[in-house]
A and B are shown apart, each in its own frame.
Chain A
């Protein structure tokens, strides 16, 4: 089973600040995803990233969000100006063979916006 490491495990930030969440897959993968889960709510799809570009994004993924693979290994999610409602667990996930296969999740980053 592929492994995904996320950093930091917990981040507290002030409203309006920028945050960058990082994801490092152990081995090379083509399909990357970000999900979030607000406490007590559903896991929600944010964005998928394939072949070094966004392949699909949800309505949640507005102009405040961006993703990139700056060095070909790390996969990052940036929130430009955080809001209180951005407080959630953010999960990075990787896909194995194709876009319709299962995703393996990292352990998550808990983001708290104060």
Chain B
């Protein structure tokens, strides 16, 4: 059974701090890695995707991938109260199916 694991949180950080979200996956054949943000009652919204080992930066967000350790992370710099949401890690192998983690709830305190 292919799994994606995340700490459910909640992760609480003060406004302006860096939030660090982590994810591990079980399938070594995984090829594509995604971070989605989901506000309560809303649909997942894509924030970042990464395919290669290393870091990928987009604005305040940085995704990090380490395939040897089967580990993906998301850093949010200068966290804002509007960043408070559940962050979903998602992984795709060589096919069409995406496996989601249960998500980490983030609270950014003003």
A residues lining the B interface (CB < 8 Å): 31, 33, 35, 41-45, 48, 50, 55-56, 58, 89, 91, 99-108
- Contact-size category for B: 20 to 34
Asked if A45 and B99 make an inter-chain contact with CB atoms under 8 angstroms apart, the answer reads yes
5 contacts between A and B (CB under 8 A): A41-B102, A91-B44, A102-B32, A102-B49, A108-B42
User: Of B43, B95, B103, which contacts A108 at CB under 8 A?
Assistant: B43
Q: Which residues of B contact A102 (CB under 8 A)?
A: 32, 34, 46, 49
> Looking at the complex, which one of A33, A41, A108 makes contact with B96 (CB distance below 8 Å)?
A33
Contacts of A105 in B (CB 8 A): 36, 43-46
- Across-interface contacts of B51 in A (CB, < 8 A): 100
Partner of A42, one of B42, B43, B94, B101: B101
On whether the beta carbons of A101 and B49 are closer than 8 Å, the reply is yes
A91-B44, A99-B95, A108-B43 known; A43 vs B32 contact (CB < 8 Å): no
Q: How far is the CB of B89 from chain A (nearest CB, A)?
A: 11
Complex Cα distance, B51 from A36, in Å, reads 25
The chain B residue sitting closest to A105, CB to CB, is: B43
Chain A contacts of B90 at CB under 8 A? 43
A22 and B102 alpha carbons, distance in the complex (Å): 26
Give which listed residue, B34, B44, B96, B99, contacts A48 with CB less than 8 A: B96
Whether a CB of chain A sits under 8 angstroms from the CB of B88 is: yes
Q: What's the Cα separation between A107 and B88 when bound, in Å?
A: 16
Within the assembled complex, what's the spacing in Å between the Cα atoms of A102 and B100?
A: 12
Q: A91-B43, A108-B43 are in contact. Are A45 and B97 (CB under 8 A)?
A: yes
